[in-house]
Amino acid sequence: MPLHVFGYGSLMWRPGFSFQTRQFATLRGRHRRLCVLSHVHRGTPARPGLVMGLDRGGACRGVLFEVGDGDRDDVVAYLRAREQVTFVYQERGVPVRCDDGSLVDALTYVVDRE
């Protein structure tokens, strides 16, 4: 079974991993927001900058990537290294609606409000 990854920020234009297909999709119940302070991607430890996160409520348009079985483990390891640097995101499986109307479970990273 292929892995699906939902990208809502820089993953949309710079995924950094191999994929078989790419299509637009919508995630309901989460919205894109500048709500994460980061010294890794913006700013410094003394003055962190804001980066995107998926927060509660609303809806978010993004890109759904389909990853082949042979690349699954490498892609998940890559995403964890990229998205979990400061542990401000939670890895989640979420249902996303593709533009063709199909519903797909996808891996994404949401804001950890704790």
Q: Where are the alpha helices (DSSP H) in 5-101?
A: 72-83
Whether residue 66 lies in the annotated active site:
no
Phi, psi dihedral angles at 52 (to 5 degrees): -70, 150
DSSP-derived 3-state class of residue 11: helix
Catalytic-labelled residue, pool 66, 83, 91, 114: 83
Residues designated as active site:
83
